[in-house]
Amino acid sequence: MMTSDLTSTQRAKRLKLMIFDVDGVLTDGGLRYGPEGELIKTFNVLDGHGIKLLQKSGVRTAIISARQSPIVARRASDLGISILLQGVEDKRTAFEKTINELKLTPEECGFMGDDVIDLPVMTRVGFAISVPNGHPEVRSRAHYVAEAHGGKGAVREVCDFILQAQGNYDSALAPYLS
pTM of the full structure: 0.94
For residue 113, which of 94, 169, 59, 35 has the smallest C-alpha distance?
94
**pLDDT of 1:** 43
**Hey, which residues does 145 pair with through a beta bridge?**
130
Q: Which helix (H) or strand (E) holds 79?
A: helix 70-79
Q: For position 3, what pLDDT does the model report?
A: 45
Q: Do 175 and 156 contact (CB within 8 A), yes or no?
A: no
Averaged pLDDT for residues 95-100: 98
What is the predicted pLDDT for the residue at 4? 54
Beta 32-33 vs 17-20: how paired, if at all?
unpaired
Average pLDDT over residues 160-173: 98
Above 80 in pLDDT, residue 100?
Answer: yes
| pLDDT-derived band at 178, boundaries 50, 70, 90 | confident
Looking at residue 42, its pLDDT comes to: 93
Q: Give residue 16's pLDDT.
A: 98
Does domain 8-177 match CATH 3.40.50.720?
no
